[in-house]
Structure 1
Amino acid sequence: MAATNSNSENVQKPSFETFQLFSSTASGFGIFDDPAQQAPSIPPPPCVEVLPSEVHSSVKHSVESVNLDGITLLKGRVNTQQVFGLSNSDLVPGKYEGGLKLWEGSLDLIKALRCDIKSGLISFGGKRVLELGCGHGLPGIFALFEGAAAVHFQDFNAEVLRCLTIPNLNSNLSNKSHPLSSNLTNCDKIDVHFYAGDWNEVDKLLPYVATHVEDNQNAGYDFILMAETVYSINSLQNLYNLIKKCLRHPDGTLYFAAKKYYFGVGGGTRRFLSVVEKDGVMASSLVAEITDGSSNVREVWRLKPKIWRKEKANPCGFKEAKSSIDDSSIAKAP
């Protein structure tokens, strides 16, 4: 995976996109296709809610601005060696999942969201938002500035939340150059929460999951956002299961940005979409394809629960309704 760069990028949305489901034996991703050859799994850290007051003041946190076509957000920078005792490492399975880096997908996702807002396809006003694998939390911060009623941030590591996500959110809230910063001054006073833990278990803490809400009609998050979370084939099923538990039905929407393929670790957008397609309950639409000629192709996808209706000729059965999304009208990220 490559960190964010400032190279100019061309964004294209193909008129028609197909992909073939991957098999577990012929995908060409080396040892990751054979579970017997994979390294033994490491127990994940415990799932916990991290409070805004738990910021690690001893860790140096600096910020720099990121301009996204007229929107300026702040991204924090901390030292991986100081936080985890690691140097020059993007990923240590079971210990550190790259949350201290700002990956390109986060910026791709914000650009795509902004385009869909401008086109009238979506609005965050009054909505519940969950950002999975948040790291810096920029997509969630963007949703907050766009009027979201609640934004919950999740990351594998509690240290990422304490040392980076919470300080980064507070820096953006105190940024006087942002038009909404005067109304949002501190994450203690708004519906913002932070949760750490593995995707297989963290739903037990999330307050809007159906099992934690008395009225199931009011359960779930209106939007789930995630960037660069589908890199490992070993975690895709757990991630997808979590999404289904957390997404509001039938109107919830998932946006995710990632590389088409992650060479060496086996994941990518197409691997994840194969899991989605096999399940058959969610419809996917390609929002944007980003190419810069020097790095892996990146994509932004939108997923929604399929709409089902009773068939008059078969009152005991259900038939999938046609999607209301017209691919030709989907906005392209700039």
Structure 2
Amino acid sequence: DFQDYNEEVLKEVCCLNVLVNCPNTPSAVRYFSGDWGSLAACTGKVYDVILTAETIYDDKSSGRLIACIDDILKPDGVAYIAAKSYYFGVGGSTRQFEAQVAKLLPRRKLEQVALIQDGSSNVREILRLSPEVA
């Protein structure tokens, strides 16, 4: 399943990429557009793995993303969040996201699993959200 706020992105980019890169993809692949707040009701299922990229750019919407992940991720599931360390001009950051996760999902563990620094573009990180180990 794939989700983007903009239906046009799903139709013009995502769907075409899936067809090109996964020509034998089953017809069961689904595409959802709209706000994260409505995603759980639309999908009707929970996931083992969630991949998300460039979704924490605005600290005001990160809470909705965290709630969405909490709603649709299995208790033993893992989410990977690929993001810039800081989004200039809009205020989101991986540190701010970490603070929100700690507050909203205390039973989950968020850790950095990759740091990408090429010296010429924004620093990027991959974060893993997993069940807290007892």
TM-score interval (norm. to shorter): over 0.9
Output the CA distance in 1 between the equivalents of 2:42 and 2:30. Answer: 11
Q: Where does 1:209-248 land on structure 2 (aligned, <5 Å)?
A: 220-248=46-74
- What's the counterpart of residue 196 of structure 1? 33
Q: What RMSD over aligned residues (CA atoms) do the two structures have, in Å?
A: 1.3
2:129 counterpart letter in structure 1: L
1:272 maps to 2:97 = yes
2:66 counterpart letter in structure 1: Y
Helix, strand or coil at the partner of 1:165: helix
- What's the counterpart of residue 66 of structure 1? none
Task: Compute the TM-score of the two structures, normalised by the length of structure 1.
Answer: 0.38
Residue 195 of structure 1 and its aligned partner are, at CA, apart by: 0.6
Maintained 8 Å contact 1:170/1:187 = no
Residue 173 of structure 1 and its aligned partner are, at CA, apart by: 2.5
Runs of at least 5 residues in structure 1 that lack an aligned partner in the other structure: 1-151, 175-183, 209-219, 308-320, 322-334
Output the CA distance in 2 between the equivalents of 1:168 and 1:296. Answer: 25
- What's the counterpart of residue 173 of structure 1? 22
Q: Where does 1:267-306 land on structure 2 (aligned, <5 Å)?
A: 267-279=92-104, 280-306=106-132
- What's the counterpart of residue 262 of structure 1? 87
2:96 counterpart letter in structure 1: R
Maintained 8 Å contact 1:231/1:267 = yes
- What's the counterpart of residue 49 of structure 1? none
Helix, strand or coil at the partner of 1:253: strand
Look at both structures and tell me which one has the larger radius of gyration over its CA atoms: 1
The number of equivalent residue pairs is 133
Output the CA distance in 1 between the equivalents of 2:118 and 2:131. Answer: 32
Residue 287 of structure 1 and its aligned partner are, at CA, apart by: 0.6
Task: Compute the TM-score of the two structures, normalised by the length of structure 2.
Answer: 0.92
Maintained 8 Å contact 1:169/1:187 = no
Larger helix proportion of the pair: 2
1:198 counterpart letter in structure 2: D
Output the CA distance in 2 between the equivalents of 1:157 and 1:240. Answer: 19
Residue 187 of structure 1 and its aligned partner are, at CA, apart by: 4.3
Residue 294 of structure 1 and its aligned partner are, at CA, apart by: 1.5
Output the CA distance in 2 between the equivalents of 1:285 and 1:269. Answer: 10
1:168 counterpart letter in structure 2: N
Output the CA distance in 2 between the equivalents of 1:166 and 1:297. Answer: 28
Deviations 1:4-62 (A, max 9, x none): xxxxxxxxxxxxxxxxxxxxxxxxxxxxxxxxxxxxxxxxxxxxxxxxxxxxxxxxxxx
